Amino acid sequence: MRNAKKLLCVVLVLLVALSAASCSITKQYAYQKDDVELPIGVYIFYLQQAYSEAQSYAQQSDKYDSETGKYDGKKSFLKMEITDSDDNTAVAEDWIKDKAKEYTLNAIAIATEFNKLGATIDELGPNDMYSSINIYSIYNSQTGQLDSSLDQKLSDVAKNYEKYGIGFDSWLFCSSSVNLMKEAAFQKEYAADGPSPVSNDDISKYFTENYYNYTTISAPLYTSEAKADNSGETENKAMSDKEVKKYEDAFKGYVKDVKNGKSMDEVVKTYNKKFDAEASATPSVVKIEKDTKDELSKAVLALKEGEVTYKIIGDDATTRMIYLIYRQPIKDKVSEYLDGDSKQSSLLHELKDDDFEDLLKGLIEDEDIKISSACNSYKPSMFEEKEKKTTTN
């Protein structure tokens, strides 16, 4: 209850920020579309975010010397070529500006759709709020508490962001509010009364066609022994063929036991007694792609509902495991997943995330987005300077 109350307080702060950042007319805007204007501080925030990402890529290059902190002998990395996680190569300075533009366009598309749908953040459930709020901004992962010290947060923002021209409203919009707006717009778009309604039957159909319900019992076909060098470390030793056969024979018997009506819990008790083990039957409900490379997942796909088998899986004799695999009806889990808000929301995202991203891309491609020339006044090199005095937005 205490956390819920704190969350409501945070949402009130976010709503105030939204009214200032996404609906009002600002003196100096970065991007504008319809009735949405993003202040210049939003663009600067994304420019700084892109700068940090580019710096990380530059430090992964073989031209970076971690001892001197230099890039190919130079203090700045902005003129060197970097390769990002999508294998795109560009001069760092150009990559940063392009990425900042991409982030800002995405933000104004989200804010535009949020306004168009009449979505509100307070309609989101707690699970959606928690998943959408940037944990580094508002949620303390170490204490498990929401940050209740707004004064301290304001001080941190002033210290770390305002010197570049990023005001509190812009910081809060980029770090948290835009994520909440996106989630609220997404939920509104696909609600029963939304423009593109998704029914429980649609989600149920998706779930039963893509998810698998199965239970496993597993055992290692190797032993962990202390190394002979007395280092205190252990290493895996492969079991002999005779020992492996002992496990295979036992698991063949367990297959018959399950076919004859024994539960997996009953079977694991038999296994634990025979091998003096402490294993447990592990139930799983997971999405499995048809082209999966995972050996256990492929074994599940090969089974029909109600079938059971055993399989030895592992790259070599020192990592092999033997599995008893029992595939059960996925329909048995439908009510559990559709009755749980967080699980149902997760399924809706899997079903519609790509469509929603396409919708946002369509808004980004509109020619009526105005980009202020003020953005050209801010360069990636500003973040290499110790201080930058400027007005805040």
Predicted confidence (pLDDT) per residue in 231-257, tens digit: 778 888 999 999 999 999 999 999 999
Across 13-22, 163-172, 173-182, 322-331, which has the greatest mean pLDDT? 322-331
Mark out the alpha helices in the chain (DSSP H runs): 2-18, 40-59, 92-117, 126-132, 150-160, 168-172, 178-189, 200-210, 241-259, 264-275, 295-302, 334-339, 341-364
* Same domain membership, residue 345 and residue 331: no
What is the pLDDT averaged over residues 84-107?
96
> Tell me, what's the pLDDT at 136?
41
In a domain, 393, yes or no: no
Instruction: Indicate whether 50 pLDDT > 80.
Output: yes
How many structural domains compose the chain? 2
Domain hosting residue 262, numbered range: 205-335
308 and 219 in a single domain? The answer is: yes
In this structure, the answer to whether residues 7 and 126 fall within a common structural domain is yes
Q: Does residue 389 form part of some domain?
A: no
Tell me if 391 is assigned to some domain. no
In one-letter notation, the amino acid at residue 144 is G
Q: Any idea what the Cα angle at residue 383 is, between residues 79 and 132, rounded to 5°?
A: 110
Do 167 and 62 sit in the same domain of this protein?
yes
Q: Are residues 366 and 321 in the same domain?
A: no
* Strongest mean pLDDT among 56-70, 145-159, 245-259, 365-379: 245-259
* Proportion of the chain above pLDDT 70, given as a percent: 82
Within 10 angstroms of residue 19's Cβ, the number of other Cβ atoms is: 11
CATH number at residue 238: 3.10.50
Within a 10 A sphere around the Cβ of 133, how many other Cβ atoms? 22
How far, in Å, are 12, 111, 197, 198, 202 from residue 192 at the CA level?
26, 22, 5, 6, 11
Is 307 a residue whose pLDDT tops 80? yes
Same domain, 285 and 144: no
392 part of a folded domain: no
In a domain, 376, yes or no: yes
Q: Are 174 and 239 in a shared domain?
A: no
- Please, what is the average pLDDT of the chain? 85
Whether residue 380 sits in one domain with residue 234: no
pLDDT at 165 over 70: yes
Domain-embedded: residue 369: yes
Residues 214 and 360 in one domain: no
Q: Is 352 helix (H, G, I), strand (E, B) or coil?
A: helix
| Domain annotation covers residue 60 | yes
Does one domain contain both 166 and 23? yes
Q: Residue 37 falls within a domain, yes or no?
A: yes
State whether 49 and 173 are in the same domain.
yes
Question: Do 90 and 189 lie in a common domain?
Answer: yes
